[in-house]
């Protein structure tokens, strides 16, 4: 059962108008989080980021955070075997072009299984840059075709994630992850000004570990001694291959993973 525009419906019966702007032009945003101990994890942070994305997209959602929490709780309860929750908001029904219609936004809360990630990740670098100055920088937009293409390249190479530079050649992010690397003996992650998404797991790792948020060139991936990904569905995941170079998880990765796990175990809404 999913929550669609104010009511619970069967996931098989859930549908959108063919003119929904999320379908026709990818005009929308979303949040995905894990279900832990029977509840959606870190909802306060996810709802804050959803509001930021909505503001950036100029979408006015007439639903309170309390109502979003209630809808999410209903979907969690109705899907006891699910591992993730996704909240999606689109601009609603609109014309077959970039201009929006005058109707209300579409709101969907859906549940699903885990992504089947392993314990470690192989990654590849891709040549297409993230635009740190673009209108969608820092927004978790449903316009995901760029990520789909990059992830297809990664899977073709036997990897599970692709890593982007930004327009000035600095390390940025993955298709659905943030990245942390060892650089000159320190744990480093790109700052938000690099164009990367403000990941919820990223922020928790920054808060619980000794991390430098600083720009480094994408070339650091050729020399780093250890690296890891973070996301709401991967937690802290060690990288064991970058392109054709094999890595082993190191002490910085182990310490960050342990600190994040301790925080997640102590509260459902850190």
Show pLDDT as tens, one digit a residue, over the chain (270 residues).
Answer: 999 999 999 988 888 899 999 999 999 999 999 999 999 999 999 999 999 999 999 999 999 999 999 999 999 999 999 999 999 999 999 999 999 999 899 999 999 998 888 899 999 999 999 999 999 999 999 999 999 999 999 999 999 999 999 999 999 999 999 999 999 999 999 999 999 999 999 999 999 999 999 999 999 999 999 999 999 999 999 999 999 999 999 999 999 999 999 999 999 999
pTM score: 0.95
In angstroms, the CA 11 to CA 47 distance is 23
CB atoms within 10 A of CB 190: 26
Q: Where are the domains positioned within the chain?
A: 2-112, 120-266
CATH superfamily of 120-266: D-amino Acid Aminotransferase, subunit A, domain 2 (3.20.10.10)
Q: What is the predicted pLDDT for the residue at 173?
A: 98
3-state secondary structure of 247: coil
Q: Which helix (H) or strand (E) element contains residue 34?
A: strand 28-36
What is the number of H-type helices and E-type strands within the chain? 6, 15
What pLDDT is stored for residue 227 in this prediction? 98
The topology (CATH level 3) of 2-112 is: D-amino Acid Aminotransferase; Chain A, domain 1 (3.30.470)
Within its chain, how far is the Cα of 25 from the centroid?
20
Task: Check residue 14 and give its pLDDT.
Answer: 86
Are 29 and 91 a contacting pair, CB within 8 Å?
no
Cα distances (angstroms) measured from residue 76 to each of 16, 68, 109: 22, 12, 10
């Amino acid at each position: 059962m999913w929550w669609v525009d104010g009511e619970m419906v069967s996931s098989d019966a859930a549908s959108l108008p063919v003119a929904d702007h999320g379908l026709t032009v990818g005009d929308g945003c979303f949040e995905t989080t894990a279900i832990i101990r029977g509840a959606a994890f870190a909802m306060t942070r996810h709802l804050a980021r959803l509001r930021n994305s909505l503001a950036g997209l100029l979408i006015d959602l007439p639903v309170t955070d309390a109502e979003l929490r209630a809808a999410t709780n209903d979907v969690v309860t109705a899907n006891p075997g699910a591992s993730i929750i996704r909240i999606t908001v689109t601009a609603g029904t609109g014309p077959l072009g970039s201009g929006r219609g005058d109707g209300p936004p579409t709101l969907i809360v859906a549940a699903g299984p885990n992504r089947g990630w392993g314990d470690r990740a192989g990654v590849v670098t891709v040549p297409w840059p993230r635009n740190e100055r673009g209108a969608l920088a820092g927004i978790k937009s449903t316009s995901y075709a760029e990520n789909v293409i990059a992830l297809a390249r990664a899977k073709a190479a036997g990897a599970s994630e692709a890593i982007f530079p930004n327009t000035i050649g600095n390390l940025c992010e993955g298709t659905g992850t943030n990245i942390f690397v060892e650089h000159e003996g320190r744990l480093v992650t790109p700052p938000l000004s690099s164009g990367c998404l403000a990941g919820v797991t990223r922020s928790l790792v920054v808060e619980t570990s000794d991390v430098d948020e600083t720009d480094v060139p994408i070339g650091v991936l050729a020399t780093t001694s250890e690296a890891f990904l973070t996301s709401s569905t991967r937690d802290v995941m060690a990288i064991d291959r970058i392109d054709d170079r094999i890595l082993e998880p190191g002490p910085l990765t182990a310490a960050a993973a342990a600190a994040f796990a301790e925080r997640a175990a102590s509260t459902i809404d850190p």
